[in-house]
Amino acid sequence: MKHLKKHLSFANVIACVALFMALGSSAYAVTAMLPKKSVKTKHLAQGVVTTTKLRNGAVTAAKIRNGAVTAQKIAAGAVGSTQLLDGGVRSVDLAHQSAVAEL
């Protein structure tokens, strides 16, 4: 404690107080002042949102815009029979001339 008192000055104390106030204010502003749903797709860098960062059930069919997911956007082998629910894909859900692999 004696060593600390030796190096403690008014300037050091004020600098530390200012630092904590600045950090605390910006943290408060980020959490309290941003309105809900104010961060849009255009604000996100490419590849920032990954599968591991998504909560289970966060992305559902109802939340996906029509045409947002196409066959060209799905990697080969990404969706197999183990990822599909029983009855999850019916013939009426498939577009005309869709490629259907034998399961």
Residuewise pLDDT in 10s, the chain (103 residues): 677 777 788 898 899 899 988 887 777 776 777 777 778 888 888 888 888 888 888 888 888 888 888 878 888 888 777 777 777 777 776 766 565 554 4
What type of residue is 44?
Answer: L
Name 81's Cβ contacts closer than 8 Å, sequence gap at least 6.
103
Q: How far apart, in Å, are the Cα atoms of 66 and each of 17, 21, 63, 69, 90?
A: 52, 47, 9, 8, 17
Range of the domain at 17: 1-37
In a domain, residue 72? The reply is no
Specify the pTM: 0.35
How many separate domains does the chain show?
A: 1
User: Positive or negative, the Cα torsion across 42, 43, 45, 48?
Assistant: negative
